[in-house]
Structure 1
Amino acid sequence: MKEALALPSAARALLAEKLVESLEFDVEEILQMLWTDKAKKRRDEVRSGAVPTIPGEEALARVRQILE
């Protein structure tokens, strides 16, 4: 850390940018995993009949009505 702090400002800025990019990659993986888990849970709820489903056209009509 001492070596990084001793770098010139431009080099520290570039290093900081690269470190943040590496964190964003990790966050994206975590978010992807969470969304996948959620999607599988919803799929299982639909398959088991725990949640009601509606035809696609009806769903789109509802969305259009809300947006009007």
Structure 2
Amino acid sequence: MEFESLEGLPIAEKLELVERLWDDIGASSEPLPLPDWARREALQRLAEMKANPSGNLTADEVWRRVETRRG
């Protein structure tokens, strides 16, 4: 399927396509490619987290912040 043929789809159909693709990716056992810059960033953040564990948020704190922003 050519990308240009997707551009004319209504938004609802585009969102359905994205959801189906996302579900398919999630169900795949194939490893996700990780660019070098993303790997470096993840390692840097992990090092920062280990160096300053008091600055880390718990999962509950993260979800509270998400819910607060949702209103």
Under a length normalisation based on structure 2, what TM-score does the superposition of the two structures give? 0.46
- Higher normalized helix content (fraction of residues): 1
Under a length normalisation based on structure 1, what TM-score does the superposition of the two structures give? 0.48
